Structure 1
Amino acid sequence: MSKPRTRTWLKRFALASLALIVLGGGALFIGAAMVLRASLPRDSGEAVIAGLSAPAMVDRDRLGVVRIRGENFEDTARALGFVHAQDRFFQMDLMRRRAAGELSEMVGAATLDLDRSMRVHRFRHRAAIAFERMPDRHKALLEAYADGVNAGVADLRALPPEHLVLRARPAPWTPEDSLLVAYVMFDMLAGSEASDRRLGVMRAALPEELVDFLTPDTTRFDAPLIASANPHDYSPAPIPGPDIIDLRTIPEDNGADVQPDETPIDSLRGDLTFLPIPNPTGDIALGSNNWAVAGSRTPDGRAILANDMHLGITVPPVWHRAQLEWGDRFVAGVTLPGLPGVIVGANGHVAWGLTNTFIDVMDLVRIRVDPDNPDHYLTPDGPEPFTLHEETIRLQGGATETLTIRETRWGPVIDDDYLGAPLAMRWTAHDPEGFDIGLLDMMTAETIEDAVRIAADWRGPPQNVVIADDTGRIAWTVSGLIPIRNGVSGAAPEYWSEPDAGGEPVGWIGWLDESRRPAIIDPESGAIFTANNRTLPPLDALPLSTQWPIGTRASRIRDTLLASNAHTEADMLALQLDTRVELYDEYRDILLETIPVDDPEPLLIRLRELVEAWPGRADAADPGHRLLRDFRRTLHTELFSALTRACIELDPNFSFSWFGAEEPLRRILEERPDHMLPHGHESWPEFLRSLALDMAESIHQREGALDRPWGEANPARVRHPLSLAIPAAGRWLDMPETPQHGDIHAVRVATPGFGASQRMAVSPGREEEGILHIPAGQSGHFLSRHYSSSHADWLKGAPSGLLVNENVTSFRLTPAP
């Protein structure tokens, strides 16, 4: 998407919003205030929803968390739709529009590039197919929820402020719109497009030995859930010799681009949708944590589950808290506005949590256009015509644009590569078998076997699903449709138009058999843990993906869980807030080795003092942690920019990043071969000291000292998207910027705009002792008392209760006459 054009629209929107909020006097101000308050959610009285079988009650506690009591499951879905619409309808509207490529109809040409990129996937068409394929119980749930959403919008006395400013009249909500919201999450969590493109450039530009060294599929930091006894599981490639690459001969080039290892999620494209969006600093991490301990590791035999999903932290937040009750059942946890149920939570029998698996379910296919007919492409069976689809993009004001999409047997053509060759995308999200809302069945699971089966059957972005039950048992499995490949790795763009040596087709040849789906029930250790890391032995993991986030968080979680047999919910929250970062111990040691106590440079002496005093944690008050991070990042950039210089020359848009890049960096620093010494430096001690001094001088020149606390450099910056364009709007729309603890390699992941989108710790059957909090608040309306009511507990890590235990406000929903 064009950033200048986006900023133009954001400024126009924000200025208009500010005019409503702060400008004008007398009647104008009073009128604007009345209109804005007319769009606040209902908190008393009575409203009507068609289709209800009996009246339903909606209670809210002091934080605005809702408790919905309905006659049956569908009635609670109707009531949840009503509440979501009143609290978050603009967020929901943007999400469905983003998935469908329909933002420009509401906001104009600023989002045209984004709409074009999304229309290629034809998600509205796929949502209609997915709905028709669904079982009747899911159709009924989606239809009931849509009834509630439309009733909730109709009950508002004015549309949300954003719709008023944009003069947008939103279309009624449909069941397919809920599926579009789910597709947004699929797009965000299960994409590898940028990584595949990156590796393709590396393979074309660099010697094979160098590519293997820079892109390890195992590292010393791995902490698999299922370990192997094979001593060769960690088998790093050797450092390429000087005959392959010699950094002493590569002059410095400031044009090289290297991303730090806090790599943005490849498909993290959430502009204008209130979903996770790139932080203005570019400092975005990856990850989520979930774990469970069995009754053998608690004092009273209860199993406890903990989950904190790491996403962009925005206003309003991704999740909406709810407690649903019908008949003798209940479920409590976090919901996603736009979907009719609890995504992560507990129901008295089981509790479940999610982390992203990073299983590769998206491949890029290089297309050979038929040289004799450009309307055809080559396949193993000969030339085939492109299937053409015309999509009409409507713009605000009435203008339209027609987009022609070329489809192949493998998927739509999404773009050209750096050489101008077409790239098609093979992705499970495009497959009718690859998408459903089966996760919502978890709300009614009664046993751990039920829950494992539901998780394994769910088709969506592949997730680590960790489960605990009310008998003290725990389990883990992975969800999603997992492709089986022949003749291709899926890690980089490849041609699928020729058969393999045996004459068999290459590409995806089927799906992982359910008998081979990874799963654990009742582990002997009494503990299960995932943190986006590789969970399986290398030979089992390699068919699923070629890279995984390193296991620094997973190993810390594992070691903490196995160190005690008396865990409680409070202990789980304490682990979620843990800031120990062992990764930086090595960089502290390097700096202390590099800078002698009698170094003649005072700035380096001060640097040494601060680093030596570092407590080993990412604490907000400590300046040493910030300095270690900067030193490591500087090393990362200096070495990898030189090693990948040829990639920039081949593709100016190339930017090096790899989840396991810490491994080759450590190898170089440990062995320190002469040919890996960057150009212009005499020795490794001189290079490291020069790098430390340059870093210290740069910080001192910019800030006047080296003592800036880590929390000031890494504040919680929880912003409304509009304030990114108009900072003055942040006074009303943003959460206060606050120093925070945490780091991307700590269990407590925290960067200025990324971190724990929720934290939950719960024992099934003892939900009244459970803990749950989210950032910001329940409401997306800046005048609501619940716009920021949850933020303080989230920021401080206070143990907010999972359940609603006090009704501050209540209203009644009744069937239509």
Structure 2
Amino acid sequence: MKYVSFFLTLAVSVALAILVSRPIGQIPPLAPLLDPNHGFWQNSYSEDQIAKEELSLENLSAPVEVVYDENLIPHIFAQNEQDLYRAQGYVTAQHRLWQMEFQTLAAAGRISEIVGSRALELDRMTRRKGLAYGADLGLKFLEENDPETLALVEAYADGVNQYIDQLSDARLPVEYKILNYRPEHWSAYKSLLLLKYMSDMLVGDRDLEYTNLRKILGEAGLNKLFPEFPKENDPVIEAERVWDFTPLAVTKPDSLSYPDHMLAMNPLNQPIDGTGSNNWAVAGKKTKNGNPILANDPHLSLNLPSLWYSMQLSTPEHSVKGATLPGALGVISGFNQHIAWGVTNATKDARDWYKITFQDESRKAYRYGNEWKPSQFRIEEIKIKGEEAFLDTVVYTHYGPVVYDQSFRSDRADVNFALKWTVHEGSNEQKTFILMNKAKNHSDYNLALDNYSAPAQNFVFASKSGDIAMRIQGKFPLKWREQGKFFMDGADPRMEWQGYIPFDQNPSTLNPERGFVSSANQHPVDPSYPYYVFDNSYEHYRNRRINRRLREMEQITVDDMKALQFDDFNLQASEALPVLIKLLGSAQAGSPEAEKYLGELSSWDFFADPNQKAQTLYSIWFAETAESIWRELRSTDLPIVTPNSYQTIDLMASSPSDSVFDMKSTEALEGADYHVKVGLDSLISIMNKWVAEEGDYSWANYKRTTIQHLVPDFKPFSVGNVYTGGGSGIVNATGSRHGASWRMVVELGNEIQAFGVYPGGQSGNPGSRFYDNFISTWANGEYLNFNLRTPDQQEGVLFKTTFN
């Protein structure tokens, strides 16, 4: 079966290269690909079939033992950190080399090197955002400030490179063979670049869209449709928190200057809907066994190979286990003998845009107050497979790179906008995880986080000593109200950030009276927090469902926390569906289909389980209603955003006759009821087509969750139609392409009990039985035992390897 799968993959890949209009690249040489001794046939193996008891790893100070459990999870036992991270690099490369390199090529804007000119615009934008520039500064920061961490990162790179140097053509990952290239050496720079790539995945901004909306709606209209705090704000840090510090003063300019025309550039890619996360910790006073319990499930793209790679890393001083990020040192979300921690994205605007006024067409200087500041130029050479390299000149100002100019995505020659982003400042996130892996208490946790700048995260914490905590950590600029919400005039020095919020004044809490801490990408604080906080993408449903359940629950067990991570209750539907039905009123009488669907909706319990049909109906009805409401606003050719679901539902419920519902293109005066009927008509039309073509409209069949290979063209390496429930805005946030990329639950008793799972497998090789073997476990809401192991533990051992 494996040989058949690989042959089909080869056929599909080559056919795509020949037939589609934008092929994946040059057709790979067929003879090497079909060579039975070196070609893709050699990738049809599982790792235990080729395991060796001993391997040579140079530069070790003592032997390192690696014990693989039955799920191919390695447990590395070393005598010191240098050896530990050198072995981590080697072991990770054994199983995830192609993924590691592909992701760093993407972060560096180098995908054109392997797939050709189809990736040129993507690479140009990546370079212009300055991810590689940020990694350069990060490496310089380590060289000048932290040679100890740099030495560990270099040890990791050495381990990766020793694996690459002994890698035969036969064992080369199949993606290299299909795309016809070979791996290059790893470096400390690449590990830092990977962390910058995570910042780009998780951080968004809507300055461009809000600038246009401000011109379209005016200040009053903008504030009405896009309030900065929801009516029901249940923030990350409990609203009862008293801020016991004296905030730094922030001076707002007397007058503000914004671009005076509409902006037609294409916005940067933003975090995709569904990108989010949950984490929480409950105190021992709320649990059955009297021990803190911590849970974490980051929501990201569902990809193969999986984003995460599970490991245990042990020295005589510490043992840590959890999810690692292939290419980075240590465990990112996990636990050790003393503490557990997890992360969610702290959605907060960390990128600002400044309009640059150049002195002349040479762009060698730009206005800043009464002066002309000199520009810097960075020539980006983008190599393209099979073609000549493309040279892109990017101008750098003291704010950052000029992403938009006359040569890139603008219909105006005088539009030049620079991006200011904390990623372009030297930082040491890698040290955070190295220290966190060894932390023993809340003080150690805080010391580790003091090194962390971006992307901003909500770090949840629990310890065996009984503490629970949450800290929103990132390097946050001091801003006056609404600063950075719109594009700003870079020629005005008053538009500058006025420093940074001190780390000890970032929102945090320790052992709150309510007995739990939690985050789900919602507002970080209530309005009493003394600094300006803003983002366009705050969550409004998962957080309230989690907090309500945690407030209600007592005698909590690990199984309770697993069930909460897999909770399918659709809070949005429970609030919106009664509004839709009420507004529909007498208009609901109509076709047999309408009566049938409304009957199914009326009897629904609001759980988005995989067999539920009402969840499918609701998701379509509400989406089509919202589309009708905001259609005229969206009809402009300019980049904008529309009000979120929470605000849309609130307006429908509280002000159904508001002028926002009126269609300016008609003479009649429409209210919310008009759009609800339009949405129902669209639902019937969509369902008629779906039933005729597909039949079953149960939620899992309609949603069709797919775990997709990192190269979308390689469909045989993906897993489609995963039978599972959940969805956007639901605690089990499993959509069609996004969801819980890792689930972990840890009880911190005398003997730590840990459980974890992710939607994939340990191997990056599609021919391995360990490539996707966790998916069904994950889809069913089940977990693997994730307890710490000792070197001499015999049960559940797949094989052992000793590095000498």
Shift of 1:754: 0.2
**Aligned amino acid, residue 781 of structure 1:** N
Q: Distance in 2 between matches of 1:606 and 1:542?
A: 51
Residue in 1 that maps onto 2:52:
44
Q: Distance in 2 between matches of 1:225 and 1:31?
A: 53
Residue in 1 that maps onto 2:476:
482
Residue in 1 that maps onto 2:681:
693
Deviations along 1:328-381, one digit per CA (max 9) or x if unpaired, are 420000000001110010011110000011122111111122259743211024
Q: Pairwise CA RMSD of aligned residues? A: 3.0
Does the CA contact (< 8 Å) of 1:597 and 1:605 recur in 2? no
Of 283, 293, 299, the residue aligned with 1:294 is 283
Q: Distance in 1 between matches of 2:579 and 2:17?
A: 45
Q: Distance in 1 between matches of 2:774 and 2:163?
A: 23
3-state SS of paired residue (1:751): coil
Does the CA contact (< 8 Å) of 1:40 and 1:783 recur in 2? no
Q: Structure 1's 587 and 519: CA in aligned 2 closer, same or farther, altered over 3 A?
A: closer
Does the CA contact (< 8 Å) of 1:313 and 1:753 recur in 2? yes
3-state SS of paired residue (1:562): helix
Does the CA contact (< 8 Å) of 1:199 and 1:492 recur in 2? yes
Of 376, 381, 388, the residue aligned with 1:392 is 381
Q: Distance in 2 between matches of 1:549 and 1:616?
A: 22
Does the CA contact (< 8 Å) of 1:488 and 1:507 recur in 2? no
Does the CA contact (< 8 Å) of 1:696 and 1:706 recur in 2? no
What aligned pairs does 1:724-735 form with structure 2 within 5 A after superposition?
Answer: 724-725=712-713, 729-731=714-716, 733-735=717-719
Of 229, 247, 250, the residue aligned with 1:218 is 229
Q: Which moved more, 1:396-405 or 1:56-65?
A: 396-405
Does the CA contact (< 8 Å) of 1:391 and 1:405 recur in 2? yes
Q: Distance in 1 between matches of 2:382 and 2:754?
A: 47
Shift of 1:569: 1.5
Percent identical across equivalent pairs? 26
3-state SS of paired residue (1:611): helix
Q: Structure 1's 30 and 140: CA in aligned 2 closer, same or farther, altered over 3 A?
A: closer
Structure 1 spans left out of the alignment, 5+ residues? 231-256, 258-263, 269-277, 279-283, 500-504
**Aligned amino acid, residue 167 of structure 1:** N
Shift of 1:760: 0.3
Q: Taking structure 1 as the reference length, what is the TM-score of the superposition?
A: 0.85
Q: Taking structure 2 as the reference length, what is the TM-score of the superposition?
A: 0.86
3-state SS of paired residue (1:718): strand
Shift of 1:20: 8.2
Q: Distance in 2 between matches of 1:426 and 1:714?
A: 38
State whether structure 2 residue 553 is matched by structure 1 residue 564.
Answer: yes
Does the CA contact (< 8 Å) of 1:188 and 1:265 recur in 2? no
Q: Distance in 2 between matches of 1:557 and 1:771?
A: 20
Q: Distance in 1 between matches of 2:565 and 2:22?
A: 35
Residue in 2 that maps onto 1:496:
490
What aligned pairs does 1:184-583 form with structure 2 within 5 A after superposition?
Answer: 184-192=197-205, 195-228=206-239, 266-268=269-271, 284-370=273-359, 374-397=363-386, 399-416=388-405, 419-420=412-413, 421-433=415-427, 437-486=431-480, 489-499=483-493, 505-540=494-529, 543-583=532-572
Structure 2 spans left out of the alignment, 5+ residues? 1-15, 242-263, 790-794
Aligned pair count?
Answer: 744
Of 100, 103, 112, the residue aligned with 1:95 is 103
Deviations along 1:377-400, one digit per CA (max 9) or x if unpaired, are 110241122211223222334732
Deviations along 1:65-118, one digit per CA (max 9) or x if unpaired, are 111111112212111111110111111111221222222223322222222222
Q: Distance in 2 between matches of 1:402 and 1:454?
A: 41
Shift of 1:459: 2.3
**Aligned amino acid, residue 180 of structure 1:** L
Q: Distance in 2 between matches of 1:597 and 1:515?
A: 57
Q: Distance in 2 between matches of 1:17 and 1:205?
A: 55
Shift of 1:716: 1.9
**Aligned amino acid, residue 776 of structure 2:** A
**Aligned amino acid, residue 209 of structure 2:** R
State whether structure 2 residue 635 is matched by structure 1 residue 641.
Answer: no
Does the CA contact (< 8 Å) of 1:79 and 1:813 recur in 2? no
Q: Structure 1's 6 and 428: CA in aligned 2 closer, same or farther, altered over 3 A?
A: farther
Does the CA contact (< 8 Å) of 2:236 and 2:520 recur in 1? no
Of 163, 168, 184, the residue aligned with 1:152 is 163
What aligned pairs does 1:594-633 form with structure 2 within 5 A after superposition?
Answer: 594=584, 596=586, 599-633=589-623
Does the CA contact (< 8 Å) of 1:215 and 1:661 recur in 2? no
Residue in 2 that maps onto 1:171:
184
Deviations along 1:143-168, one digit per CA (max 9) or x if unpaired, are 11111111222343332222233332
Residue in 2 that maps onto 1:784:
768
Shift of 1:43: 2.5
Deviations along 1:200-237, one digit per CA (max 9) or x if unpaired, are 1111233222211221111134211334479xxxxxxx
State whether structure 2 residue 78 is matched by structure 1 residue 70.
Answer: yes
3-state SS of paired residue (2:357): coil
Residue in 1 that maps onto 2:725:
741
Shift of 1:669: 4.3
Of 730, 739, 746, the residue aligned with 1:762 is 746
State whether structure 2 residue 190 is matched by structure 1 residue 183.
Answer: no
Deviations along 1:634-667, one digit per CA (max 9) or x if unpaired, are 121111122354xx15x2xx24245x45214421
Q: Distance in 2 between matches of 1:389 and 1:70?
A: 43
Deviations along 1:510-551, one digit per CA (max 9) or x if unpaired, are 111234221111111110010010121125276132434233
Q: Structure 1's 466 and 397: CA in aligned 2 closer, same or farther, altered over 3 A?
A: same
Does the CA contact (< 8 Å) of 2:46 and 2:770 recur in 1? no
Shift of 1:313: 0.3
**Aligned amino acid, residue 470 of structure 1:** K
Does the CA contact (< 8 Å) of 1:603 and 1:693 recur in 2? no
Q: Distance in 2 between matches of 1:211 and 1:428?
A: 27
Q: Distance in 2 between matches of 1:392 and 1:14?
A: 20
Q: Structure 1's 358 and 631: CA in aligned 2 closer, same or farther, altered over 3 A?
A: same
3-state SS of paired residue (2:629): helix
